[in-house]
């Protein structure tokens, strides 16, 4: 079997990769919805993979893996890797999880991820109201994550929470010391959410990046009695092209509150210091950024050897990305907690993807399906009207 073409289109906001072969088997991969601009970057890799056997996934990846980088630039490599596994599973007549070592679990836990509701404000009562809505969602999530601090509009909308001026625009552009009032405000918002969730639903907090180390330590220690699931991306994180493992270690060693990072990190080599130095308690690589699902599994196994937990990122990965997350999460070791649940947006995504269960999430779990490959497909007739001009030949 040989690769004959690499195609990419943007459906809604998600770039979608399709790899075709000379035996009529094709594979799909998907990039986060925030990265619609990556189509030309994805197509850059076409000449590297044409003529290769797609079922020799690692051989193909060795040709392109070194040409990616931290979020967002690893997404192109990651989506291609997913499409290769999709083909390999279809060619073998087995689900991808079989090729990754087989199932450890028959159903995989997810947390709310992209199931969010607009904030009406950034006071404790607003957080309580918003969290109650997520708790009442039909998926019955056992873990709910909410953005606070630098991973929200709180610091821009509530005066006097930081020293210095905050910048607008960009993705997570701010770093600043918190005022005493700011720290107390954030703690009060977390307490309000825990009051809603009690001990029935775990609370995870997306915090940054942007925190100064003393503030991160003070917050983590103040929240110890609340038993939150984790504090995510306090020092580095979303769209930060470096790791700062030594700084994370200082925070982690100061507190019993679990510290989490990893969504922006590309490749196993860049997780090494975090894991070997026990710099965090939880890592959260995104299969659409780390370099693909096999790379994520490798990092999960290595983290497990070092007593570090795994909660993969995935909020913008779409429905094809969801399928990839289900396949790899089924194979992960016992350090797996849950992955961040992506949804189809716009809503018509649910009309063009076949193979998903209905409902997808029941009591915070997704049942692992057994169809070959990733187990989902794009309905060509239903997808056609949503193909952008110039991509009419996507299924040819």
**Both structure tokens of 379:** 């309905």
DSSP 388: P
Q: Is residue 394 part of a domain?
A: no
Query: Are the C-beta atoms of 333 and 304 separated by less than 8 Å?
Result: yes
Q: Is the peptide bond before 26 cis (omega within 30 degrees of 0)?
A: no
Residues 242 and 161 in one domain: yes
Q: What is the mean pLDDT of each run of 10 residues along the chain (396 residues)?
A: 98 98 98 96 98 98 98 98 98 98 98 97 98 98 98 94 86 93 98 98 98 98 98 97 98 98 98 98 98 98 98 98 98 98 98 98 98 98 98 97
113 torsion bin: left (phi>0), alpha (psi -120 to 50), beta (else): left
Distances (CA, A) of 192 to 42, 102, 390: 44, 42, 50
* Predicted pLDDT of residue 167: 84
Residues 79 and 208 in one domain: no
Q: Give the span between the Cα atoms of 88 and 82, in whole angstroms.
A: 10
Q: Is residue 393 part of a domain?
A: no
* Predicted pLDDT of residue 229: 98
Q: Give the span between the Cα atoms of 374 and 355, in whole angstroms.
A: 9
* Predicted pLDDT of residue 169: 77
The angle at the Cα of 88, spanning 83 to 91, to the nearest 5 degrees, equals 125
Q: Provide DSSP, 259-290.
A: EEE-TT--SGGGGHHHHHTT--SEE---TTTT
Residues 88 and 210 in one domain: no
* Predicted pLDDT of residue 55: 98
CATH number at residue 187: 3.20.20.120
Residues 88 and 103 in one domain: no
Residues 64 and 191 in one domain: no
Q: Give the span between the Cα atoms of 125 and 188, in whole angstroms.
A: 9
Q: Is residue 179 part of a domain?
A: yes
* Predicted pLDDT of residue 111: 98
Residues 341 and 226 in one domain: yes
β-strands 309-310, 3-11 pairing: unpaired
Q: Is residue 396 part of a domain?
A: no
Q: Is residue 391 part of a domain?
A: no
* Predicted pLDDT of residue 276: 98
* Predicted pLDDT of residue 166: 87
β-strands 365-367, 107-111 pairing: antiparallel
Give pTM, 2 decimals.
0.97
* Predicted pLDDT of residue 355: 98
Tell me how far the alpha carbon of residue 246 is from its chain's centroid. Answer: 23
Unique residue bearing structure tokens 């005022």: 179
CATH number at residue 37: 3.30.390.10
Q: Is residue 278 part of a domain?
A: yes
The number of CA neighbours under 13 Å toward the Cβ of 64 is 27
Residues 78 and 103 in one domain: no
Query: Are the C-beta atoms of 147 and 119 separated by less than 8 Å?
Result: no
Q: Is residue 395 part of a domain?
A: no
Residues 226 and 367 in one domain: yes
Residues 86 and 116 in one domain: no
* Predicted pLDDT of residue 165: 86
- Select from 310, 175, 155, 319 the least CA-distant residue to 236: 175
**Both structure tokens of 326:** 């289900």
**Domain region containing 45:** 3-93+379-386
Residues 85 and 10 in one domain: yes
Unique residue bearing structure tokens 């609340």: 226
Residues 82 and 124 in one domain: no
Q: Give the span between the Cα atoms of 110 and 312, in whole angstroms.
A: 9
Domains of the chain: total: 2
Torsion angle of the four alpha carbons 249, 253, 257, 261, in this order, in degrees rounded to the nearest 10 = 10
Q: Is residue 347 part of a domain?
A: yes
Residues 136 and 29 in one domain: no
């Amino acid at each position: 079997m040989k690769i004959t073409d690499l195609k990419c289109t943007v459906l809604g906001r998600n770039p979608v990769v399709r790899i075709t072969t000379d035996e009529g088997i094709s594979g799909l991969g998907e990039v986060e919805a925030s990265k619609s601009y990556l189509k030309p970057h994805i197509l850059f890799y076409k000449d590297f993979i044409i003529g290769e056997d797609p079922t020799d996934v690692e051989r193909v990846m060795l040709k392109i893996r070194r040409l990616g980088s931290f979020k967002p630039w690893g997404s192109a490599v990651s989506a291609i890797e997913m499409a290769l596994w999709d083909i390999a599973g279809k060619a073998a007549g087995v689900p991808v999880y079989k090729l990754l070592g087989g199932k450890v679990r028959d159903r995989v836990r997810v947390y709310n991820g992209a199931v969010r509701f607009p904030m009406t404000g950034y006071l404790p009562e607003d957080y309580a109201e918003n969290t109650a809505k997520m708790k009442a969602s039909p998926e019955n999530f056992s873990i709910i994550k909410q953005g606070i601090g630098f991973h929200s509009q709180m610091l821009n909308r509530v005066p006097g929470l930081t020293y210095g001026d905050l910048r607008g625009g960009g993705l997570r552009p701010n770093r600043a010391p918190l005022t005493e009032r700011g720290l107390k405000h954030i703690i009060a918002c977390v307490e309000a959410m825990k009051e809603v969730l009690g001990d029935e639903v775990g609370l995870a907090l997306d915090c940054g990046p942007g925190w100064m180390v003393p503030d991160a330590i003070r917050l983590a220690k103040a929240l110890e009695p609340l038993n939150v699931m984790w504090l995510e991306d306090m020092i580095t994180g979303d769209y930060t092209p470096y790791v700062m493992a030594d700084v994370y270690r200082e925070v982690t060693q100061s507190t019993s509150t679990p510290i989490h990072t990893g969504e922006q990190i590309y490749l196993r080599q860049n997780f090494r210091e975090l894991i070997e130095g026990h710099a965090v308690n939880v890592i959260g690589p995104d299969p659409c950024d780390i370099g693909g699902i096999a790379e994520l599994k490798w990092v999960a196994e290595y983290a497990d050897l070092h007593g570090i937990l795994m909660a993969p990122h995935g909020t913008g990965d779409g429905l094809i990305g969801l399928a990839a997350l289900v396949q790899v999460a089924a194979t992960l070791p016992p350090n797996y907690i849950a992955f961040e649940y992506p949804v189809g947006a716009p809503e018509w995504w649910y009309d063009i993807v076949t193979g998903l269960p209905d409902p997808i999430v029941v009591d915070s779990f997704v049942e692992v399906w057994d169809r070959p490959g990733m187990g989902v497909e794009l309905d060509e007739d239903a997808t056609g009207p949503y193909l952008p001009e110039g991509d009419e030949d996507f299924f040819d």
